Chain A
């Protein structure tokens, strides 16, 4: 890894999450959706790892699988020294306080029949032995921390705007002093003028509480702002992982290049001049990925080998990983 002195807080190796497809009268298992298919990465303590990709690439599934919200198909997940890849859900409960999640849709992830106080207090009820008074005080502190007025503690989620609801979700995630938070598209449902408020809040909290984030998003400009390093996913695999500046300045994988080129730039002179790489076609189904490289059906620089052999994911430069045949010749001529 690039930061050799920094130890990874989260370490994921060859994570696979396959969902079975059942069909026919007897609901036989006829195949599987390989939502996450062999993903490896580290999240260094205190950093924000951005995980980007288009819908259906498996980024959300990956985030949920890392927190073991699913029983994973295979792979190793180490969080803060504990291997949790095959821990039972019952045994995981004691480890849950250290790892939390902020969900995309604050409307759907807050119970409309619970008050804000009850929502933020629930993890405390579940995992701590604090007295009722102490819990209330803690809820008050959390509401202060995320910029919600304490006086609104007895209100219900529908009384709040989208941005404020997302703050409630963040306060709940912070309640148990976690080390690691998976933020799954936390700003996708918000208006542009509100997105900046929530992103700044997440950055402030990271500094204040020493948090480590896995920030899942499809918004490449926002990830450039918030992430320390960025991983790009396509069809269940990481195609490239690199420090932020390097990735945006000089993307290596053809998919990363196309993805960055497709982001519309809010500057008319650039937008009209730029030579966009427009990818043809759609993302193939993860139930039936192409042979060889997953990207070979749309890749502008496809070669013969790409249609037969899957590229390996390797460190092409210090701290930069990619899975592409274009870069394999440099250090591997055994082909």
Chain B
């Protein structure tokens, strides 16, 4: 990245393939991005677009086989996370990189009280003794806004509501003062009023702690309110990447444009009819040799069928992987 400080996390050309009974599925194809200190990078895409698999790959969280991380580099803390031993990776995970998953019920252990679950990374990664860890756990619960924190440490996950459980997950992820927090659809399972609470909490925490965040979601509304930069994924590739206000005001990839048109809003003009993106998202059986979106694209032309578009730099931190230049209405140079 040209502007700003050195990235805390730099991913280049990441490739992940799944071996399935009906052949290979190329879930992540040549994904590159970087994360600057303190920023929030939003990752948007539909199911199967590769957004979660990308994040799981870079932390070595996928079972191999069937997954196979075929290439790329993930630079964090002067180390390539794809080329370090298991112990180093374990130290990074839950330590300097925290993770929040979508469903707080399945990612918390039902047979341990939440106190023990928050204390586990503190004792493993920070070498705290029981007393220090307990004090820090209480602090963390207070930080994420759980009332009566000291007593709640002894409670089990089922005694918390969905929103409160997600707060516990965030507390665990924040336990070791991470430099990077990866949040995978953290509010998708929650109701809108509870989602609003978690989004507010996230804003507070970023202001207080200053960590960099990767926020994965399919909800463009959530992204608009919280992200600094946004990366749009489709078919396991980054199709567009821009600062958040640019992405919404001047989207350049046909998929982003269609996506923004297809979602109804509660303010704004009410369309008599919703704009439809015809067809289905692709299942990538092979490494892409053509544009993955061309079957559903309204500006596709013959080049799109024979060549996979690279990410064209459009200036000001904006790039889009499309042969068609929406600004001029002409194909880009060959």
Task: Report A's interface with B, CB cutoff 8 A.
Answer: 54-55, 161, 163, 191-197, 199-200, 203, 218, 220-222, 224-225, 248, 258-272, 276, 278-280, 282-283
How many A-B Cβ pairs are below 8 Å? 125
Residues in B neighbouring A194, C-beta threshold 8 A: 280
- A193-B281, A260-B266, A264-B224 in contact; A269/B192 too (CB < 8 A)? no
- A193-B259, A271-B224 in contact; A54/B192 too (CB < 8 A)? yes
Residues in A neighbouring B271, C-beta threshold 8 A: 225
Contact A267 B224 (CB under 8 A): yes
Query: Is the CB of B218 closer than 8 A to any CB of chain A?
Result: yes
Residues in A neighbouring B197, C-beta threshold 8 A: 278-280
A266 CB to closest chain B CB (Å) equals 4
Which of B194, B226, B264, B277: most chain A CB closer than 10 A? Answer: B264
A57 CB to closest chain B CB (Å) equals 9
Residues in B neighbouring A191, C-beta threshold 8 A: 46-47, 218, 281
Residues in B neighbouring A200, C-beta threshold 8 A: 273-274, 276
Contact B277 A268 (CB under 8 A): no
Interface size on B (CB < 8 Å)?
A: 46
Residues in B neighbouring A265, C-beta threshold 8 A: 221, 224-225, 265-267
- A264-B221, A268-B248 in contact; A218/B276 too (CB < 8 A)? no
7 residue pairs A–B, Cβ–Cβ below 8 Å: A262-B193, A265-B225, A268-B224, A269-B245, A278-B196, A279-B197, A282-B194
- A192-B262, A225-B270 in contact; A163/B225 too (CB < 8 A)? no
Contact B164 A282 (CB under 8 A): yes
Docked Cα-Cα span, A100 to B169, in Å, equals 41
- A54-B193, A197-B278, A265-B265 in contact; A282/B222 too (CB < 8 A)? no
Contact B259 A54 (CB under 8 A): no
A228 CB to closest chain B CB (Å) equals 12
Docked Cα-Cα span, A197 to B262, in Å, equals 9
Query: Is the CB of B163 closer than 8 A to any CB of chain A?
Result: yes
Docked Cα-Cα span, A17 to B3, in Å, equals 60
Q: Select from chain A the residue with minimum beta-carbon distance to B234.
A: A193
Contact B277 A263 (CB under 8 A): no
A152 CB to closest chain B CB (Å) equals 14
Contact B200 A278 (CB under 8 A): yes
Docked Cα-Cα span, A203 to B274, in Å, equals 10
Pick from B46, B161, B262, B267: contact of A282, CB below 8 A: B161
Contact A276 B200 (CB under 8 A): yes
Query: Is the CB of B219 closer than 8 A to any CB of chain A?
Result: yes
Query: Is the CB of B58 closer than 8 A to any CB of chain A?
Result: no
Which of B46, B226, B263, B266: most chain A CB closer than 10 A? Answer: B266
A144 CB to closest chain B CB (Å) equals 17
Docked Cα-Cα span, A267 to B260, in Å, equals 10
Docked Cα-Cα span, A271 to B199, in Å, equals 12
Pick from A161, A263, A278: contact of B221, CB below 8 A: A263
Query: Is the CB of B27 closer than 8 A to any CB of chain A?
Result: no
Pick from B161, B225, B266, B273: contact of A248, CB below 8 A: B266
Residues in B neighbouring A218, C-beta threshold 8 A: 191-192
A68 CB to closest chain B CB (Å) equals 28
Query: Is the CB of B35 closer than 8 A to any CB of chain A?
Result: no
